[in-house]
Structure 1
């Protein structure tokens, strides 16, 4: 574990586990979490002989709680800083939710020379907010309300997300895990309210259409059709169609947080894609 300092003076925390000469899998977390959200994947791939890397996005987790730069350009540049610092080559980049947007924007902004494949899990691309070009998106008022709740009482808001729609715990016959709920809450509360407030705009209003179109590497799009955070119909299938070399894998009944709630299935499919 360590830190890298970006060009604008932000310290980005990262984990780097495994043999130096092994295939690298770089994990990108969702909003408002941290690298810890990838525990189930990092331990699994480490046991399979891979080198695993994950960072805390600026303002999140253990990275600097800087007041500015909470946008996809800075997020992508921060990833590049970690990649360059560690000298990573031909990594597979895996992003969940906001992290999926970060992955495809990093690939488009910094090129594919150091990237072999990418995976977008329950990811925000092409664009979440409703626009003339994206009539199936969510109204901007939804995200304005998110920001209002972060400002008013984010501790309660974060508990309600984790205990409800994020893992599908609000569905009939669901079996909530208090440990999972409180771990989500813990990660969220470690970060900066300013970063999380601004990050809502970054994940909801960034249009990743051209980023998706420009990618030539193999990209696996994984999405649950019961995703209550990033609705399936306006995300996974649309992203897969825009990608030149994209594959869509749909998971019936799986929630937004499926890397945790359905880790065994997700890990097996990730491993098959990495090896393929």
Structure 2
């Protein structure tokens, strides 16, 4: 793994050990990347899945055992300067980053009948504003000739409607648009930009009823796992994927809505 020596990956939204963010961190760490991840426990504590307060620390300890450098910070991505706070901390502790995985997301259930301006703003601030500003500033600071990678996690909203998730679908749709345009702007800098839709993924939020409802929609007969997402991202950030950019990749096991 000599070609990975010193490569630094940022992964946002890594609060829970069962989550997609944690799986991404583990997969990249196994490949030799140094990891900097963010988390925001206030959000996860309000969600049905909740969170144990020490989960980020446990993840850091697990990653360190893999022989790579690891750092993290708790960060509220709704803050106007969150992107500067994060990139400053990464540079200070691990050096200039090579990879940015925009995994953090804000999501609550709502539809046309109960959507409020406040709730829409919360979705926008995390899913669109933070992702756009962090990606832009990452690119502005990128000081290498090639090998830069940005991967945005999206949700397949253009694969079909998402009733009951109006704000989430709207803002994730903006992430797809961002990916396509930003990829053209950043290619001359040696940075690829792609988005990944993992489809329904069992990160601990699914009840048995939901699992039984979803399973027939997967041709492989099982529901997506966090490592399925992580393995695809490991490829997208590798040297082998340096000719792939501006793509919305639906890595969801043939899921049929």
With normalisation by structure 2, the TM-score equals: 0.45
With normalisation by structure 1, the TM-score equals: 0.42
